[in-house]
Amino acid sequence: MDKVFNVIISGVGGQGILTASELLSKVAMASGLDTKKSEVHGMSQRGGSVVSHVRFGRKVYSPLVEMGTCDLILSFEKSEALRWIHYLKVEGAKVIINDLELIPTTVSIGLDTYPRDIVKSIEEKVRAEVLLIPATDIANRTGDARTANTVLLGAMSNYLPFEPIVWEKVITESFKKHTIEANLMAFRFGREFK
């Protein structure tokens, strides 16, 4: 693939965004592509907004996605999808959102309000396909609610040029032994969600 594919994974510190972007990079690498990913550690991990950029293709230079070129946003939290919407390309982008609202302290103490109708406002402003996924509910079906991130990766995988078998291999290699089965199941449940 000559064209570089650009993904942004966003969410809140502590949600496992860096682990998810690591998995995606490994899948790209195992599929024979060049890949780079970028994120920032430190201050942003204390419950703040966290974002990871993942790029893959035949040859990748910048680890950062350029504004206007993002093919897909995967957000682990609803308001965090909004934050990066201007990075999307203007036509044909995908936005996959976990149906989860985490209310920041700024809202509780009255400094800000939590955005309403997030899916609607994205659909109004961007010509992108938006998918809202109840990842925690789906993850519960595996018996382990902590596999919600893998559900989301499964849903995202439908829109990426990688074979499911490569994903499953990387999942098997990356998770602790006793959680592999639940994660594989979560990935397949996520993949069914289109």
Partner 1 sequence: MSNKVLLSGNEAAARGAWEAGVKVATAYPGTPSTEILENLVKYDEVYAEWSTNEKVALEVALGAAIAGARSMTSMKHVGLNVAADPMFTSAYTGINAGFVIVTCDDPGMHSSQNEQDNRRYAKFAKLPLVEPSDSQESKDYLKEAFNISEMFDTPVLFRMTTRISHSKTMVELGERKEVGIKDYVKNFRKFVTLPANAKARHYVVEERLKKLKEFSSTSPLNRIEEGDRSLGIVTSGISYQYAKEVFPHATFLKLGMAFPFPEDLFKKFASMVQRVIVIEENEPFLEEEIKTLGYTEVEGKKYIPFCDELSPEVVRKGVLNEELPHPEPIKSVMRPPVFCAGCPHTGVFYNLWRLKATVTGDIGCYTLGALAPYESIDTTICMGAGITNAFGFQLARGKEFSKKVFGVVGDSTFLHSGITGLIDIVYNKGITKIIILDNRITAMTGHQDHPGTGKTAKGEVTKAVNFKDIVKACGIEKVYEVDPHELRATREVLKEVMELDEPAVIISRRACALLPEERKKQAERPKRKVNVDICKGEKCLGCVKLGCPAISIKNGKASISDLLCVGCDLCIQVCPFKAIS
User: In the numeric block, which tokens belong to residue 15?
Assistant: 């949600």
Single out the residue of 1, 58, 92, 106 in contact with partner 1 (rule: CB under 8 A). 106
Residue 174 one-letter amino acid: S
**89 sits near partner 1 (criterion: CB under 8 A):** yes
**125 sits near partner 1 (criterion: CB under 8 A):** yes
Question: Between residue 135 and residue 194, which ones bind partner 1 under the rule CB under 8 A?
Answer: none
Q: How far apart are CA 167 and CA 187, in angstroms?
A: 9
User: In the numeric block, which tokens belong to residue 129?
Assistant: 């396909």
- Nearest distance from residue 45's CB to partner 1, in Å? 7
- Nearest distance from residue 33's CB to partner 1, in Å? 9
- Nearest distance from residue 98's CB to partner 1, in Å? 13
- Contact range with partner 1 by CB under 8 A, out of 75-83, 146-154, 171-179, 181-189: 75-83
Residue 142 one-letter amino acid: T
Q: How far apart are CA 168 and CA 131, in angstroms?
A: 22
Single out the residue of 8, 17, 82, 97 in contact with partner 1 (rule: CB under 8 A). 82
Strand 5-12 with 49-57, pairing: antiparallel
Q: Which of 164, 165, 160, 133 is nearest to 149 (CA)?
A: 133
- Nearest distance from residue 159's CB to partner 1, in Å? 18
State which residue, 109 or 181, has the beta carbon closest to partner 1.
109
Q: How far apart are CA 129 and CA 51, in angstroms?
A: 20
Distance of CA 115 to the CA centre of its chain: 20
State the residues that interact with partner 1 by CB under 8 A.
Answer: 12-13, 22, 25-26, 29, 32, 34-49, 60-64, 66-69, 79-80, 82-83, 85-90, 103-109, 111-115, 121-122, 125-126
